[in-house]
Structure 1
Amino acid sequence: MPELGPGVYAPRDFNAAVAFIDRHVQEGRGERVAVIDDYGATTYAGLLEQVNCAGNALRGLGLRQESRVAMIMQDSVLFPAVFWGAIKAGIIPIPLNTLLHTHDYSSILADSRAQVVIVSESLLTEVRPALAGQRCLDTLVVDGTPGAGEHTLSDLMAAAEPALEAAPTTADDVAFWLYSSGSTGTPKGVLHLHRHLGATAELYARGVLGIEPDDVIFSAAKLFFAYGLGNGMTFPFAVGATAVYLAGRPTPEAVMDVMRRQQPTIYGGVPTLYAAILADEANSRDTGSQRLRRCLSAGEALPREVGERWQARFGAEILDGVGSTEMLHIFLSNRPGAVRYGTSGEPVPGYQVRLADEQGHDVAVNEVGELLVNGPSACMAYWNRRDKSLDTFEGRWTRTGDKYYRDDDGYYHYCGRTDDMFKVSGQWVSPFEVESALIGHDQVLEAAVVPCETDDELIKPKAFVVLKQGGHGDAQLVEDLQHFVKDRITPVKYPRWIEFIDELPKTATGKIQRFKLRART
């Protein structure tokens, strides 16, 4: 039997939708609230009916087992209806980033060969031009008001039968695809199996996060990528808890409004958003939910100062961790009651990690190496990227591309991406170390550090800095920041140049796209 975690197995014949959706109604939890979105609350019984209708609607469009449907949808109850409805019908859903541009959608739709695409009405301006010339795409379905001759999701679901027999899938069938964030280039199709959803729920959601049926979880991280998909669907639906969705952009104001109105017990965000909420001087005393008991963070490493300030204000720990699209969710994390801000914590039980040098040998404690991970949620492969698959997946081990060191207590410290690290005067420089020092300054909101050549062709750090509202970047502040960094880390690592910019280039997951900054040096 396929293993989900230590001592936990999935049956060979397994459909993830039955385990995450049908089961709650079968076991008498149908009246519990599953989702609260911008339009109201939906129970597990109501969600099951929508899942069944969505699955039947997709079959009615001619999709059969292993066909693909692309989802370019805002967060609402219709997202899980389509996602789990497709999985239950044996059809493969492919959630796509809602913040992409036309040329991105054109490329990904061609790569995925999806036959149907479901698009939220507000996103049609970017998506509709990308449909031209798609050889495999048959049907556009609009969540909202369609154009002439186009299908509406609501009409298709209303006409569909509310009962659906699950497709005869196995735990090792491909259940869904995700596309990597593209922080270092072109997004790649990542293939995940039915059993991977259960593995992340068992190992991280139950084992580390400690989610319970009475929890209300709000994830500012969106459902279309791995971190948000786990927070907003897999984890609450694993235990019969409630998920809260926000369709619009997760600005500090919007997030705090949801926190006040819905009073979540668990909140999932990214470091950028945690920092932005703390920097909002107008609402500096607003603590949002009075029920908040736990927070989680991923996407980028959480600076120590941000974690400490958040806990002091909100009274809830942030469990900072690292995950990836390839591993589906977090596999290295801080634990409740044992948080050490400035670190990514320890391996999630059920996962193994190792740090290797350039020759593939394990490094010693306190030495920097590339992080590799072995666990039961590792993706099957990259779609149509054989060479990249061979470079990333080595037997049971997945190369993350992240540089870390492990301290004497077994905590892992993030240093940067493998291709972001560089040497200055013979010493390795971790961009994250310099960035964390800069963020400690009371005028700095965000920072990114990249290598830059001097006139003598020597490599030195350059910092791109975003100031807090009202900040003024001038020569005096540059000098102040340079001295500030020298006082906190090894002086040779201080930024020789500092450029003030309005915002850092990022992926939708909050990861800084340093390759775009390197191109500006």
Structure 2
Amino acid sequence: MTYNAVTWLLDRNVDEGRGGKVVFDDTVSKLTYGELQQQTRRVGNMLRRLGVRREERVALIMLDTVDFPVAFLGAIRAGVVPVPLNTLLTSEQFSYILGDCRARVLFVSEALLPVLNDVIGRLPDLEHVVVAGQDAHGHRKLSDELARESDAFTTAPTHAEEPAFWLYSSGSTGMPKGVRHLQASLQATAETYGKQVLDVRENDVCLSAAKLFFAYGLGNSLTFPMSVGATTVLNSSRPTPELMFALLNKYNPTIFYGAPTLFAAMLNDEAMRGARAGTGLRICASAGEALPESVGNNWKSRFGVDILDGIGSTELLHIFLSNAPDDIKYGTSGRPVPGYKVRLVNDAGGEVPDGEIGELLVEAPSAGEGYWNQRSKSRNTFQGNWTRTGDKYVRNADGRYTFCGRADDMFKVSGIWVSPFEVESALITHPAVLEAAVVPEADPEGLLKPKAFVVLRTGCETDNLYEALKEHVKQKIGPWKYPRWIDVVDDLPKTANGKIQRYKLRH
């Protein structure tokens, strides 16, 4: 039996009478479901004219505009595999990934061309560059290429279990790895988290700070709204607190997807103290890192809307543990999303009881097929029905799960596990601290103790602060967990999606 994700996501909406409804609004251009259907068919014809065959790869280095879903869904419609890339990468990283995936065509936003100028000519597999923008700078121009094509195209008769697209992991500890995702995986996330947790609806307007090239952003802005015929507002710029508040008030979205760093910044931005979060907002969602309890409570207190904190991964495509609208406990990642199973195991692979730290394994309908050209890493991560996440969790007596840290971030003090995230969460409840990161540091005897790096709020003084912070942590979470050393820094190293890169702070 054939199955193509675009038939379910897009053509079904047109068949059900939503052809004239706006699906994407990037603040400059709008696209209806019917127009998107026509444009994706044109992409299919264009790729065929350029000689791209089924199962071959095309890369997308594109800003969040209406051109992204046109290229992404058009490739899938043709049975070609789109590979969206993080637009914030360096030339070296782009060169590595484009060579690794052997993309034959590159779709790129005009504004991103400069970082690729020294890369394009060195890729033997790359045959065509298609530029979305006003000036193609000697390459093919997307609008011109599509204007040449017919919007009559027969969708490729793909299979539900064949690769539809790849996403590269964030690469926080090395070069990114290409995760191969299947045709049926988008629908799987929509019918689990999208439908049964978010309860996304046809009349929703969605706004995501996370970009489409992230697994999280792809679900937020494309999969979930399109699964029910809703509308998405796309933002091609950096998601600053000022810009997010402006978009929230201009478009009044009903669902706002952010990350802990952004929610904290929006709460603490001095210039935005009186800002509102729109009038239509009914729910917010957070992922990327665990949401500190204080941030969730402060957001609800100020805006009257809950944040559904959850955890997902590139390997599993979207969120698999989450709080739900009627079941929220800030400081936890909630419970397994319906359709997903989880378990916690120790180093020997045995399951751990409630209250003990273990590594989180997930059985997921949306799990990737494996990493491209990374056999040993695929075997280590994708183990039968289960996927190893590398996240350390505790299952509480009430069945909720509390994040403790990444497996390679955890360390023991006096024989007791210390979670960097727990210490960080305690530190940011102090009124002087805006952000914090904690890593292990050896004392003169060679024993590991917590060391903290903190970003202070504007105007805070450091006089007597160090001892005050140490005492604050002792009172919050226990006397052995306090940071023995505290460095005040201007900012913390992070990945493009806001995750703290603690390994960069270790000596």
TM-score range, shorter chain: over 0.9
In structure 1, distance between residues paired with 2:253 and 2:115: 33
Q: Is the 8 A contact 1:447 1:465 kept in 2?
A: yes
Q: 1:500 aligns with which of 485, 488, 504?
A: 488
Aligned to 1:5: none
In structure 1, distance between residues paired with 2:177 and 2:470: 38
Q: Is the 8 A contact 1:68 1:113 kept in 2?
A: yes
In structure 2, distance between residues paired with 1:146 and 1:118: 14
Q: Deviations over 1:327-375 (max 9, x none)?
A: 0000000011211000000000110000000000000001000000001
Aligned to 1:320: 309
1:54 CA drift (Å): 2.1
- Give the residue type in structure 2 aligned to 1:415: C
Aligned to 1:96: 85
In structure 1, distance between residues paired with 2:304 and 2:492: 29
Greater Cα offset, 141-150 or 490-499: 141-150
**Does 1:190 find its partner at 2:179?**
yes
Aligned to 1:39: 28
Give 3-state SS (helix, strand or coil) of 1:491's partner: coil
In structure 1, distance between residues paired with 2:7 and 2:251: 28
- Give the residue type in structure 2 aligned to 1:438: L
- Give the residue type in structure 2 aligned to 1:492: W
In structure 1, distance between residues paired with 2:167 and 2:458: 36
- Give the residue type in structure 1 aligned to 2:369: M
Q: Is the 8 A contact 1:178 1:325 kept in 2?
A: yes
1:148 CA drift (Å): 5.0
In structure 2, distance between residues paired with 1:33 and 1:177: 27
Q: 1:311 aligns with which of 287, 291, 300?
A: 300
1:253 CA drift (Å): 0.6
1:67 CA drift (Å): 1.3
In structure 2, distance between residues paired with 1:332 and 1:316: 20
Give 3-state SS (helix, strand or coil) of 1:487's partner: helix
Greater Cα offset, 78-87 or 505-514: 505-514
Aligned to 1:273: 262
- Give the residue type in structure 2 aligned to 1:503: D
- Give the residue type in structure 1 aligned to 2:146: M
1:61 CA drift (Å): 1.6
Q: 2:443 aligns with which of 448, 454, 458?
A: 454
- Give the residue type in structure 1 aligned to 2:260: P
In structure 2, distance between residues paired with 1:360 and 1:60: 51
Q: 2:503 aligns with which of 490, 494, 515?
A: 515
**Does 1:477 find its partner at 2:465?**
yes
Aligned to 2:15: 26
Q: 1:258 aligns with which of 241, 244, 247?
A: 247
Identity of aligned residues (%): 56
1:184 CA drift (Å): 2.2
Aligned to 1:8: none
Q: Is the 8 A contact 1:176 1:191 kept in 2?
A: yes
**Does 1:393 find its partner at 2:373?**
no
Give 3-state SS (helix, strand or coil) of 1:184's partner: coil
In structure 1, distance between residues paired with 2:279 and 2:134: 38
Give 3-state SS (helix, strand or coil) of 2:113's partner: helix
Aligned to 2:164: 175
Q: Deviations over 1:410-437 (max 9, x none)?
A: 0000000000000011110000100000
**Does 1:410 find its partner at 2:399?**
yes
In structure 2, distance between residues paired with 1:508 and 1:49: 33
Q: 2:419 aligns with which of 423, 430, 433?
A: 430
In structure 2, distance between residues paired with 1:483 and 1:55: 62
In structure 1, distance between residues paired with 2:368 and 2:81: 15
In structure 1, distance between residues paired with 2:347 and 2:463: 40
**Does 1:468 find its partner at 2:430?**
no
Q: Is the 8 A contact 1:270 1:299 kept in 2?
A: yes
Give 3-state SS (helix, strand or coil) of 2:123's partner: coil
1:163 CA drift (Å): 2.3
- Give the residue type in structure 1 aligned to 2:379: L
1:86 CA drift (Å): 0.4
Q: 1:221 aligns with which of 210, 219, 231?
A: 210
1:471 CA drift (Å): 3.0
Give 3-state SS (helix, strand or coil) of 2:327's partner: coil
Aligned to 1:9: none
Greater Cα offset, 446-455 or 228-237: 446-455
Q: Is the 8 A contact 2:29 2:66 kept in 1?
A: no
1:117 CA drift (Å): 0.8
Unaligned runs of 5+ in 2: none
RMSD: 1.1
Give 3-state SS (helix, strand or coil) of 1:118's partner: strand
Aligned to 1:442: 431
**Does 1:143 find its partner at 2:132?**
yes
- Give the residue type in structure 1 aligned to 2:474: K
In structure 2, distance between residues paired with 1:147 and 1:245: 22
In structure 1, distance between residues paired with 2:277 and 2:268: 15
In structure 2, distance between residues paired with 1:469 and 1:151: 48
Q: 1:380 aligns with which of 361, 369, 378?
A: 369
Superposition misfits of 4+ residues, deviation over 3 angstroms: 145-149
In structure 1, distance between residues paired with 2:44 and 2:494: 34
**What are the equivalent positions in structure 2 for 1:320-399 lying under 5 Å apart?**
320-399=309-388
- Give the residue type in structure 2 aligned to 1:440: T
Q: Normalising by the residue count of structure 2, what TM-score does the alignment of the two structures yield? A: 0.98
Give 3-state SS (helix, strand or coil) of 2:118's partner: helix
- Give the residue type in structure 1 aligned to 2:72: F
1:91 CA drift (Å): 0.6
Q: Is the 8 A contact 2:93 2:175 kept in 1?
A: no
Aligned to 2:108: 119
Q: 1:302 aligns with which of 254, 273, 291?
A: 291
1:145 CA drift (Å): 4.1
- Give the residue type in structure 1 aligned to 2:77: K
Aligned to 2:150: 161
In structure 2, distance between residues paired with 1:55 and 1:337: 43
Give 3-state SS (helix, strand or coil) of 1:362's partner: coil
Q: Deviations over 1:173-231 (max 9, x none)?
A: 10000000112222100000000000000000001110000000100100001000000
In structure 1, distance between residues paired with 2:459 and 2:153: 56
Q: Normalising by the residue count of structure 1, what TM-score does the alignment of the two structures yield? A: 0.96
Give 3-state SS (helix, strand or coil) of 2:437's partner: strand
In structure 1, distance between residues paired with 2:347 and 2:137: 57
In structure 1, distance between residues paired with 2:463 and 2:302: 33
Q: Is the 8 A contact 1:38 1:247 kept in 2?
A: no
In structure 1, distance between residues paired with 2:463 and 2:277: 38
In structure 1, distance between residues paired with 2:242 and 2:414: 44
In structure 2, distance between residues paired with 1:250 and 1:389: 33
1:469 CA drift (Å): 2.6
**Does 1:205 find its partner at 2:169?**
no
In structure 2, distance between residues paired with 1:153 and 1:455: 61
Greater Cα offset, 277-286 or 411-420: 277-286
